[in-house]
Amino acid sequence: MFLINPAIGQKNIQQVFPLQWKSKIGTSTYRSNVVYSQDYLFIGSSGEDLNKDIDALDGVHILNPKTGKSFRHIQLPQLGDNDVNGVAVSEDLLYFGTDNDYFYCFNWREGKELWKYKTKNDCESVPALSDMNMDGTMDVIFNVQMDGVHVLDGKTGESIWSNDSLGSHQGNSSPALYDVNGDGIKDVIATGRPVRENLSEKWENYQWADLVYCLDGKTGSVIWVQEMEAGIHASPVLVETDGYDHPLLYIRSVSDVMAYNVVNGRIAIDMSYNGSFGSMAISKMGLVFFGNEYSYRSDKKVFCVDMSCDLLGECGYYWSDGGGIKIPKQESYKSYSINGNVSASPVIADVINSNKRKKNNVMQIGAEQKVEEVLIPSESGDLLILTEEGDSLMMLKLPAGSEATLFVDDIDGDGKLEIIQLGLNGYVYCYSTNSTSKVSWGSFRGQNNNGLF
Amino acid sequence: MKLSSFIFLLLLVGAVHSQDLVPFSRNGMYGFKAEQTIVIQPKYEYALDFSQGLAAVKLNGKWGFINPKGELIIPNKFKAVSGFEHGYARFQQGELIGLIDTAGNVALAPCADFIQYLETYGSDEQFELGLKGKRGLFVPSDRVIVSPKYKYVNYRMGSCVVRLENDKLGIVHDDELKVQNLVSTPYFSNKKIAKGKTEDGYGLLSSRGVWLIEPKYEGMHVEMWGAIPLVMVSNEGELSSYRQKNFLLLDKKGSIVHHDTLVSFEKVYENGHMEYDWGTEPYSEVAYVFTAKNGEKYEPFFNGNKLELRKSHRLDLKGLLPNMKTFYSKGKYGLIASSDTLLPAEFDTLGTIFLSSSNSDDYMEFDEWGEPLYSYNEGRAEYLWLKKGNSIGIYHLASKMVLGEFYGGELEVTDRFVRIKNKDHEILYFDDKHFKGQKVELESFYCPKFSSNKNKLFKEKNGEVDYILAKDEKQFTIYDLEGNKILSHSNYLKFHNSNILLKAGRQVGTFDAYYVNSPNQTLVKDVYPINLINYNGEANLINEYGEVIYPEYESEFFYKDGNDKIGALLSNGRHIKAKYDSINAFPGLVKMYNNGRVDYMYFMEYGNYVSGRIAYYPVQMNVNQTPRFESDDYETWLYTETDTGSLCMSSTGVKASYQESYLKAVYTERGIALKEINPEANWNSFAVEPQDYKKIVPHWNDNYHLAKVKSTEGWGVNTIGGQLIVPAKFKKLEILYDPYEEQVIHAVSSKISALYKLNGDLIYEGAFKGAEFPYLDGMTLLEIQTKNGLLLIDYESGEIISPNNIKSYEPIEAMLDDFEYYGFNGLAMTDENGKSYIFKNSCFSDVCFSFKEVVKYDLDFLFFEVKEGESEYIYSMSSEYYYKVFEDSKDYTIDLYGGVALMTSKTTGRYRVYDLTAGMLYEGVFDDFRDGPEGLEVFINNNWQYIFELPLEE
């Protein structure tokens, strides 16, 4: 008995990257992340399926990264939808929210619940960590479906502040942190769609809008707010960019790809792409990579866009009829077919030891000039690998599709990178590579660094 | 504990609300505190937050619920629970969960592995139940429980429709499947009946799953007449409110109400108006009128308890006052309000008159085009006209009075006036204020276009009466539509076809009026002299009757003064004083000359004039010269030439000249020619010699750069640039719009038709009747309508993607996902002979074709069969690409396993399974399949194996 690959001629991933281990932990979503910390892997799980109330697999799985064996499976005792998407780890403390309207802090070594915080709705996103009350310890920042942004004392779980004045919509977008106002406390960049009844008169003009906004990390008050065209499910990322004193804030909605000046919220880049849930990854060259649920060119699901032209105001655009939608001309982007929808965000890493690969047709010598690859999986089990210039390298077949972003790092200490895939079939797969390179963008939203790349 | 602390705690317990209490843990045990004060000591093994006044706690390994005082309200007897939500908490018993209410009573016995509250937006609260992939429902308010054993459950209006494993639909009542052979969803009304469709036909269903009328009809349509169903059935195909054919009317038991075949029905709204604080709103009651094959009209009524039809004498009058209705008695009509008879039943027929009241201006708002946005008395009639034999009467609805009665009259009713005329006199009614009862002898109606002043705007309509010219014994008088007298004159008044408005002012001169007979650009003297009047500081042109004359919209009016100098009046009111020797006018562009040089020019774009004196750019204009227009979304430029270079005018004014050689089209007496223009070279070198066109229509179809040209063979299209983009050989030309909203020229001749882009590219040529560009996301489709059927073309590539006799086609929406998007992925087509075809606009794997005849296709399961030689192949279209899944598979079946559609084939001795839902092929020697608890399982080597667990390493 064997499995026939419908894409004839397509290599199985194991022909390129041998399977090191696999482990059944339950399914995952495009909001899921993988944390590698203190020699363990931390992965949230939606369990056997996204619905079951009695689910043997939901919760958080802590795995030995060398073998994939479970160190601990943190499950919650009550009935309900205890699915976990994003997790954050600080030393012995593990933070995560569930679809059962709770946010938790556990001592993961002991498996002991330290505190829990009742939320109004689901907690879907990846929490961010920073010292928000200047007590020298990490606090936790997360958003709640239809209930805005919450900041809790990381030790006690007590609220430092919360703000639902501009909403959080489905709460799928994870907050990013950056000290915008220079007061030494990270400010919170979040997205949302306001609940109309919650809007004060000040914000009433935004009642039908989807918003990206910045909240003062100290008080929770609004520093700036910008409208976006349509629903935002992806997470913001902050990227240091030439010519800017502060990182640019990249965020995409269902219809737009935008970059903002993080200090004042002014638009730096504004492009229209039929959109999606996956976040963006930005290469060292400034190329922006992302995948789509759907596309106005229906067989093209992965995009590589040179947005630098928009920063310079030199992009060639045409304006689509009717909607005033600005679409870059063909020259400024590349697009690729892939089997199935793409919800995952791309990762960028040199997984094939590419110092042997030519860059711009010139052999690159030396680690300084090492080139990287962009990896993006589809929900139907394709893995598209591009060069960092956006040229197609290979299309591999995965054992299962993925909504979640891949994770690339040396997690077993052998000096070579591993690729972690969270399959929609409930398995986590670990593949070996021969690459000894460093990773530039190895996980959901870069390096699990609160959205700052 | 100190006494004071104890008292404080007692007080706190008394005062504290459950929402203030949060669980905390100490030494591994959980209690509750409010702020920093412990209210319930840590004595539980685990605790959840309070919700709906109760908190779940775990004690001695079992879960129960406490109140804010720490009292165990629901005993700790459960294996696991959730907190309360929407009145219920989940509890676990064995491996199943159920619901308890806040009193601890079991509301739903354990039957599911998940329970989810459904946001139903206004209807009853519902909980979705799930068990091993199957779905059920719990509706507490209606005490409805549907055990989770269906693919899908929908509860609405007290009815529960389920989807079964065979994908048929059923109706569940009392958790029992009552009906299981429906092929489409029944939509129950609030009266809990619906038409249901089975393979045997339509019948009438109750929400309890009982057939009130057995399913045997080809078509059924149900209207609710209040609580009474009017059931229309047909054996001549589907019926709907839009699709009415020969049908019979049944009552809800299936008895025939009326034996005549009926052909149509209509809903009749009995009008009335309700007075509200904010004004008057119409209301209506619905009645039904059926038309029989012989033209008779019928209405339903009840004879005792029996539904019957009787002849209808209903007058469908709109705009009657509240409670007013017409009634019918002994062949005549009358009018009643509530129970008062306003008009006895003695009229042959009645009609309503709607007139715009001049008083309503105060209550009306107008849009930028002068159209009324709304009116509070909109929809209300002001008069009835009454016809009785040869006489006609007018009845004023507000005063409930008959205003007049006229014998042997003619009646003309419009939405603005009523005109009644007999040989003695003629009366015009406008509203209750003007002309009421006034005898006005009318000479004629004249219909000049009516413009507006600021306060009273009316829609312009050609051919409508806008003024009334009345004649009495002494003079002629002009009235406006509100009865205002405009002017009187003893002589016959003749109107110019222009806008008129009476103003007073000082006459400053008298001139002859001219207009430009474009495109010959000659001034033609018009019918009357005009005066230049200074009024309010502005110069106005006034005709001999004192009317200010405005040019028509986007046109201009030229005149000559006593010194034979030409001036102009633009439609925006701007006056160019008469001081020019001659003019050269082309649509959109006017140049005014002095001493043979252009001294002033303007052009007009979208009603805005761009103009300027160009004395600083002295030019020698060629009178045959044609301006060249270019534009983008924001601005239009006009280019023309001077003896020192080219001149560009735009909304930003006159731009600098430049010198450059370029081509331009010129009109000559012989037709269009193309000239090369370069001030340093030869002015008059023709790049293209004049064509021998019989006729030229410049500015064709609002395209400044296009001219429709006619040769001896027929019509074609030439551009200003001199390019003949459509050969002049067609009988007819029309503009279509392509998928990008760009214009496409459809050229038609008796034998052959063609489609051209505006750049002259031929899109398609052949014998066809018509063409369309249907919208299909992801593809630019051109539909050519030939006498054989349809021919489909990919407009972007020019590729023909169908045979030329397609009868119907539909997009393949193959990119199925869990969200709202279904991507277009090709076409499935059927031709006039019933043959099927598939088109996919790209290829992948070993499948690559433009369009291909297929044995059959199935868009529900996204596959198609292809015959090649003696072999048949099955292709899947469930991904973006098509790929071959079964080769030589004449024998296959499709079944549903746990919501997954599987296609199986055994013809080569190997059992092959294609997962239509996921687009995966499994191949192997299997003996059997079954829908296992976690998915599909296959029977192999005497064991059941889980097919999705196939080891990757093998």
Higher pLDDT, A322 or B196: B196
Closest residue in B to A100 (Cα–Cα)? B82
Instruction: Name residue, tokens 């039929």.
Output: A274
Distance CA B275, CA B281 (A): 7
Higher pLDDT, B595 or B38: B38
B80 with A425: Cβ contact below 8 A: no
Question: CA dihedral defined by A175, A176, A180, A184, rounded to 10 degrees?
Answer: 100
B82 with A53: Cβ contact below 8 A: yes
Q: In what order do the strands lie in the sheet with A392-397?
A: A11-12, A392-397, A382-387, A373-377, A347-349, A439-441
A339 with B778: Cβ contact below 8 A: no
Does the pTM of the predicted model rise above 0.80? no
A340 with B846: Cβ contact below 8 A: no
Stretch 586-625 of chain B: residues touching chain A, C-beta under 8 Å: none
Tell me, what's the pLDDT at B883?
64
Tell me, what's the pLDDT at B326?
81
**A74-95 in b/e burial notation, b at 16+ Cβ within 10 A?**
bbbebbbbbbbbbbbbbeebbb
B95, B113 Cβ separation under 8 angstroms: yes
Enumerate the residues of chain B whose CB falls inside 8 A of the CB of residue A100: 82
Enumerate the residues of chain B whose CB falls inside 8 A of the CB of residue A8: 845-846, 883
A105, A428 Cβ separation under 8 angstroms: no
B921 with A51: Cβ contact below 8 A: no
The 10s digit of each residue's pLDDT in A221-232 is 999 988 876 778
A117, A157 Cβ separation under 8 angstroms: yes
Of A61-65, A125-129, B13-17, B614-618, highest mean pLDDT: A61-65
A293 with B83: Cβ contact below 8 A: no
Tell me, what's the pLDDT at A23?
94
Task: Tell me how many residue pairs between chain A and chain B have CB atoms under 8 A apart.
Answer: 125
A53 with B115: Cβ contact below 8 A: yes
Closest residue in B to A24 (Cα–Cα)? B949
pLDDT, average across residues B903-916: 70
Token code pair at residue A450 = 């609160």
B846 at A interface, C-beta within 8 A: yes
Q: Best residue in A79, A301, A396 to probe B by mutation, most B CBs within 10 Å?
A: A79
Cβ neighbours of residue B525 under 8 Å, at least 6 residues apart? B512, B513, B514
- Selecting from A77, A116, A425 the residue whose C-beta is nearest the C-beta of B80 gives A77
- Selecting from A53, A298, A379 the residue whose C-beta is nearest the C-beta of B823 gives A298
A78 with B22: Cβ contact below 8 A: no
Cβ neighbours of residue B349 under 8 Å, at least 6 residues apart? B315, B333, B387
The 10s digit of each residue's pLDDT in A420-434 is 999 999 999 999 998
Stretch 628-687 of chain B: residues touching chain A, C-beta under 8 Å: 633
Q: How many CA atoms lie within 13 A of A131 on its CB side?
A: 6
For B370-383, the DSSP string reads S-EEE-TTTT---E
Cis peptide before B110 (omega within 30 of 0): no
What percent of chain B shows pLDDT beyond 90? 16
Please give the mean pLDDT across all residues of chain B.
68
Closest residue in B to A425 (Cα–Cα)? B948
Instruction: Name residue, tokens 């001659």.
Output: B582
**B432-460 in b/e burial notation, b at 16+ Cβ within 10 A?**
bebbeeeebebeeeeeeebbeeeebbbee
Query: Nearest CA of chain B to the CA of A333: how many Å?
Result: 18
Q: Which residues of A touch B (CB under 8 A)?
A: 1-4, 6-8, 12, 14, 19, 51-54, 77-81, 100, 112-116, 118, 293-299, 319, 321-322, 337, 339-341, 379-380, 399, 425
Query: Which region among A40-44, A213-217, B293-297 has the lowest average model confidence (pLDDT)?
Result: B293-297
Enumerate the residues of chain B whose CB falls inside 8 A of the CB of residue A341: 815, 817
Tell me, what's the pLDDT at B463?
36
Q: Is residue A314 scored above 70 in pLDDT?
A: no
Q: Is residue B37 scored above 70 in pLDDT?
A: yes
Stretch 761-820 of chain B: residues touching chain A, C-beta under 8 Å: 777-778, 815, 817, 819
Confidence of residue B932 (pLDDT cuts 50, 70, 90): low
Tell me, what's the pLDDT at B464?
41
Q: Is B5 left (phi over 0), alpha (psi -120 to 50) or beta?
A: alpha
Query: Nearest CA of chain B to the CA of A419: how many Å?
Result: 17
| Cα distance from N-terminal residue to C-terminal residue, chain B | 70
Higher pLDDT, B1 or B951: B1
For B510-557, the DSSP string reads EEEEEEEETTTTEEEEEEEEEEEEEETTEEEEEETTSBBPBPPTT-EE
Q: Is residue B546 scored above 60 in pLDDT?
A: no
Confidence of residue B645 (pLDDT cuts 50, 70, 90): very low
Tell me, what's the pLDDT at A371?
76
Tell me, what's the pLDDT at B925?
65
Of B33-37, B264-268, B629-633, B924-928, highest mean pLDDT: B33-37
How many separate helices (H) and strands (E) can be counted in chain A? Answer: 3, 39
Confidence of residue B118 (pLDDT cuts 50, 70, 90): confident
Tell me, what's the pLDDT at A253?
82
Confidence of residue A339 (pLDDT cuts 50, 70, 90): confident
The 10s digit of each residue's pLDDT in B119-168 is 766 566 889 999 988 999 998 888 888 999 999 898 877 789 999 998 89
Distance CA A241, CA A269 (A): 12
Among the listed residues A403, A408, A433, the one whose alpha carbon sits nearest the alpha carbon of residue A420: A408
The 10s digit of each residue's pLDDT in A283-300 is 887 888 988 876 554 567
A298 with B778: Cβ contact below 8 A: yes
Distance CA A149, CA A169 (A): 11
Higher pLDDT, B251 or B54: B54
Q: Is B70 left (phi over 0), alpha (psi -120 to 50) or beta?
A: left
B954 at A interface, C-beta within 8 A: yes
Among the listed residues B535, B452, B547, the one whose alpha carbon sits nearest the alpha carbon of residue B495: B547
E strands present in B749-870 = 753-757, 762-766, 770-772, 775-776, 779-785, 790-794, 806-815, 823-831, 836-839, 851-854, 856-858, 863-868
Tell me, what's the pLDDT at B670?
52
Q: Best residue in A10, A54, A102 to probe B by mutation, most B CBs within 10 Å?
A: A54
A441, A451 Cβ separation under 8 angstroms: no
CA angle B476, B478, B484 (to 5 degrees): 135
The 10s digit of each residue's pLDDT in A149-208 is 999 999 999 999 999 888 777 778 889 999 999 999 999 999 988 776 666 666 666 666
Distance CA B300, CA B307 (A): 7
* Single-letter amino acid code for the residue at A369: Q
B954 with A1: Cβ contact below 8 A: yes
pLDDT, average across residues A106-111: 95
Stretch 724-743 of chain B: residues touching chain A, C-beta under 8 Å: 740-741
User: What Rg value do the Cα atoms of chain B yield, rounded?
Assistant: 41
Tell me, what's the pLDDT at B460?
30
Query: Which region among B257-261, B558-562, B868-872 has the lowest average model confidence (pLDDT)?
Result: B558-562
Query: Which region among A241-250, B472-481, B656-665 has the lowest average model confidence (pLDDT)?
Result: B656-665
Q: Is residue B556 scored above 70 in pLDDT?
A: no
Classify strands B836-839 and B442-446 as parallel, antiparallel or unpaired.
unpaired
Enumerate the residues of chain B whose CB falls inside 8 A of the CB of residue A6: 845, 876, 879, 883, 885, 919-921
Query: Nearest CA of chain B to the CA of A345: how many Å?
Result: 18
Query: Nearest CA of chain B to the CA of A322: how many Å?
Result: 10
Q: Is residue B603 scored above 50 in pLDDT?
A: yes
What percent of chain B shows pLDDT beyond 70? 53
pLDDT, average across residues B653-657: 37
Q: Is residue A215 scored above 90 in pLDDT?
A: yes
Which residues share a beta bridge with B420?
B411, B427
Q: Is residue A359 scored above 50 in pLDDT?
A: no
A294 with B817: Cβ contact below 8 A: yes
Q: Residue ranges of the alpha helices (H) in B114-171?
A: none
Of A216-220, A367-371, B709-713, B903-907, highest mean pLDDT: A216-220
Enumerate the residues of chain B whose CB falls inside 8 A of the CB of residue A1: 922-925, 940, 950, 954
A4 with B922: Cβ contact below 8 A: yes
Please give the mean pLDDT across all residues of chain A.
83
Query: Nearest CA of chain A to the CA of B121: how many Å?
Result: 16
Distance CA A451, CA B291 (A): 70
- Selecting from B63, B113, B778 the residue whose C-beta is nearest the C-beta of A54 gives B113
Q: Is residue B314 scored above 90 in pLDDT?
A: no
Cβ neighbours of residue B143 under 8 Å, at least 6 residues apart? none
B823 at A interface, C-beta within 8 A: yes
Token code pair at residue A52 = 């079951």
Confidence of residue B600 (pLDDT cuts 50, 70, 90): low
The 10s digit of each residue's pLDDT in A31-78 is 899 999 999 999 999 999 888 888 999 999 999 999 999 999 999 999
Q: Is residue B728 scored above 80 in pLDDT?
A: yes
- Selecting from A1, A6, A115 the residue whose C-beta is nearest the C-beta of B950 gives A1
Token code pair at residue B57 = 């706690």
Tell me, what's the pLDDT at B409?
59
A79 with B116: Cβ contact below 8 A: no
Three-state secondary structure string covering B447-463: CCCCCCCCCCCCCCCCC
Tell me, what's the pLDDT at A357?
44
Q: What single-letter DSSP state applies at residue B236?
A: S
| ipTM, interface predicted TM-score of the complex | 0.85
Closest residue in A to B822 (Cα–Cα)? A294
Closest residue in A to B131 (Cα–Cα)? A52
Distance CA B877, CA A246 (A): 48
What's the gap between Cα B250 and its chain centre? Answer: 34
Enumerate the residues of chain A whose CB falls inside 8 A of the CB of residue B80: 54, 77-79
Confidence of residue B687 (pLDDT cuts 50, 70, 90): very low
Distance CA A298, CA B489 (A): 73
Enumerate the residues of chain B whose CB falls inside 8 A of the CB of residue A2: 923-924, 950, 954
Tell me, what's the pLDDT at B201?
93
Q: How many CB atoms lie within 10 A of CB A278?
A: 28
Q: Best residue in B33, B796, B879, B925 to probe A by mutation, most A CBs within 10 Å?
A: B879
